[in-house]
Structure 1
């Protein structure tokens, strides 16, 4: 059987090797003095061998057709009996093996038991017949082919599971890239929007400052485009110092007073990426939604907290914070986001166990 449930493409070649055991049938038939039973038996052996290989080679089998094929093979066995005698019982091994591979176990096991009983009883009850171990051969052949069938089915299930895992990995990677693109574009476009509004207001007040803001807009747009390209390729990285610097620039453009850490040296490497994403998402929400006038970012080796004094209690279920929650849980940490308990404002806090 193949991994998809059918027989091997060249399984009939392997099955044909075992047909040499029919040599005993052929020898007995050649020694049969009755010409009629000799010819009938030899033709039956040849058709039996061809029918057996045909059934083995069939790549799509229906239970009804398998039963029809087995019935015909048993009829050919019966036609050999007058000329070959007990040697015809050799064919029962092939029938049992074929049944164990192709029929449901609830049907093949009883049939194999019946064939085993026949191979054991007939030599003891028919005059002139000898017990040549056909019953044991039927039993061993049935067990061996059933073992092959189970191994093939396990292989098929393994391949199916591997394909499912591969599909799931692709879906997870797509979700990760989508989340990264959301975070990147949400932050970048928010800053671009704020700087564009600021540049527009400065055109009639301070043309040089407006030019500087427009130059920053170009730089931000180029950086966002580069981030999108590298994220789509799966090679994008994010740095904690870089996000602190970007937060300072974004908050300044939005005219929000910022209390930011001067360095991130005390944060261990394993937490830096998560904390960088936390600062990016929280600052994006501050600039976009909060109408805050002041933001404080605190860093410790196992915690980052961003607190603003704007309109709290909003966007807890937003896509950005949902993605941030998944990142925190993936790192074994915990995200707490919500309105400040001691006054107006919004708090985002990510803690990672030491």
Structure 2
């Protein structure tokens, strides 16, 4: 920092640092947003060189008990100063929301001031340099209002002692207090913003993790619900055909083996986050599952007119809706119609009985639709019978 005009010269007389907490590199910031303890201690300790002024005054000019009291007080001052920075500065505990929770910080500051008082008889006006370090401490560890008030009090105390005590000179220490407090405050604000950024990144990471867990749970529910329902239906069909049509039974058992392998592959792909489903494949799978359950399907044969960005949503809707039809509706017919902006699945079963409230599957569908701006509506089918699920996508 710039030395004020008329200030004492030489190492012993150089003004105390403008900031005791100095900027550390981005690599030295921990994941919590705070510098490691060793970094805080080193950053604060390098400026202890400026206490050479009072130390030389004690060694060369103080005598008797004043000399030994001053040297002991200076050594304790340095230890307490470093410990306070290591314990409080640059950590979340140094920025308490409740000013009443800063009793330990105030005790340390009171200890530092007591040591400065013990230093004064031997070091005389050189002891005022130590108040610059106290100013940096109060700005670094106290709440805003308390810190600013303490800095103002230290400035006034330094000015008064330098002018009123016979033989003492303020020698620019008041200005040094202001500059040290301002520089320390600037770094404190930068560090607080860094901590807030780290906290925000952590919260975003937790939200992303929770969303991924929800996606996997939703996908597994839909995959297993559909696959196990179709497997159960085909197993029942194979049991009925066992003594009637051996070839048809063998075909159904082979289909069951394929479905089981496909379900296992789908679960693995979902867990790895690489799974996608195809609309034409879901239409074909729905037709096969409905026929196996004895439900007459009226399904489209192609899906070319559906925009690619809506095909996955339509495919999931068909999978979940057809699963519900097979498991719950007791329907005889199921109709699927779709165009570029709308998909509708309608059955003639016990609509109100099994669709009075959304199950996990329909809730998952609503979440999928909301993510892409689409809308899911449910209700009775034509004439108040059966059940209908419709998806409308934005244009």
TM-score between both structures, scaled by the size of structure 2:
0.83
SS at match of 2:376: strand
- The alpha-carbon deviation at position 39 of structure 1 amounts to 4.0
Tell me the residue number matched to 1:54.
Answer: 83
Tell me the residue number matched to 1:337.
Answer: 378
Aligned counterparts, 1:106-121, within 5 A: 106-121=145-160
> Residue 228 of structure 1 is aligned with which of 267, 279, 297?
267
> Residue 253 of structure 1 is aligned with which of 292, 301, 307?
292
Q: Contact conserved, 1:41 with 1:80, CA < 8 A, in 2?
A: yes
> Residue 26 of structure 1 is aligned with which of 36, 55, 66?
55
Q: Distance in 2 between matches of 1:33 and 1:96?
A: 26
Superposed CA RMSD: 2.3
- The alpha-carbon deviation at position 180 of structure 1 amounts to 0.6
User: Structure 2 vs 1, CA of residues 288 and 100 (structure 1 numbering), >3 Å: closer, same or farther?
Assistant: same
**How many residue pairs get matched?**
354
Aligned counterparts, 1:275-286, within 5 A: 275-286=314-325
Q: Distance in 1 between matches of 2:132 and 2:31?
A: 25
Q: Distance in 1 between matches of 2:195 and 2:176?
A: 28
Q: Distance in 2 between matches of 1:232 and 1:112?
A: 58
Tell me the residue number matched to 1:305.
Answer: 344
User: Structure 2 vs 1, CA of residues 5 and 175 (structure 1 numbering), >3 Å: closer, same or farther?
Assistant: closer
SS at match of 2:37: coil
SS at match of 1:194: helix
> Residue 9 of structure 1 is aligned with which of 15, 18, 37?
37
Greater relative contact order (CA < 8 Å, ≥ 6 in sequence) = 2
SS at match of 1:295: strand
Q: Distance in 2 between matches of 1:98 and 1:5?
A: 20
User: Structure 2 vs 1, CA of residues 170 and 6 (structure 1 numbering), >3 Å: closer, same or farther?
Assistant: closer
Q: Contact conserved, 2:102 with 2:142, CA < 8 A, in 1?
A: yes
Q: Contact conserved, 1:196 with 1:217, CA < 8 A, in 2?
A: yes
User: Structure 2 vs 1, CA of residues 140 and 177 (structure 1 numbering), >3 Å: closer, same or farther?
Assistant: same
> Residue 221 of structure 2 is aligned with which of 182, 198, 201?
182
- The alpha-carbon deviation at position 33 of structure 1 amounts to 6.1
Give unpaired runs (5+ residues) of structure 1.
Answer: none
Q: Contact conserved, 1:26 with 1:42, CA < 8 A, in 2?
A: yes
2:331 is the counterpart of 1:292: yes
Tell me the residue number matched to 1:164.
Answer: 203
TM-score between both structures, scaled by the size of structure 1:
0.92
Aligned counterparts, 1:89-238, within 5 A: 89-238=128-277
- The alpha-carbon deviation at position 179 of structure 1 amounts to 0.9
Q: Distance in 2 between matches of 1:3 and 1:188?
A: 44
Q: Contact conserved, 1:7 with 1:56, CA < 8 A, in 2?
A: no
Q: Distance in 1 between matches of 2:211 and 2:237?
A: 39
2:76 is the counterpart of 1:37: no
SS at match of 1:81: helix
> Residue 85 of structure 1 is aligned with which of 115, 124, 128?
124
Q: Distance in 2 between matches of 1:318 and 1:341?
A: 22
Q: Contact conserved, 1:303 with 1:349, CA < 8 A, in 2?
A: yes
Tell me the residue number matched to 2:312.
Answer: 273
More displaced stretch, 162-171 vs 52-61: 52-61
Q: Deviations over 1:99-130 (max 9, x none)?
A: 22223334333222211111122222223322
